[in-house]
Amino acid sequence: MDIADLYSCLSDASRLRMINLLLKQELCVCHIQEVLNLPQVRVSKHLAFMKERGLLQSRRYQNWMIYTLCFENEAVQRVVEPLPKIFSLDATYSKDLEKLKNVIKQKPCSEIL
How would CATH label the architecture of 3-105?
Orthogonal Bundle (1.10)
Q: Where are the domains of the chain?
A: 3-105
What pLDDT does 83 receive?
Answer: 97
The answer to whether 19 and 25 are in contact (CB under 8 A) is no
Q: Which residue has the higher pLDDT, 110 or 62?
A: 62
What pLDDT does 108 receive?
Answer: 66
**pTM for the structure as a whole:** 0.93
Predicted confidence (pLDDT) per residue in 31-62, tens digit: 999 999 999 999 999 999 999 999 999 999 88
Q: Provide φ and ψ at 28, rounded to 5°.
A: -95, 165
What pLDDT does 103 receive?
Answer: 93
Could you tell me the end-to-end alpha-carbon distance of the chain, in angstroms, rounded to an integer? 28
The runs of H, that is alpha helices, within 1-113 are: 3-8, 13-24, 29-36, 40-52, 74-80, 83-87, 91-106
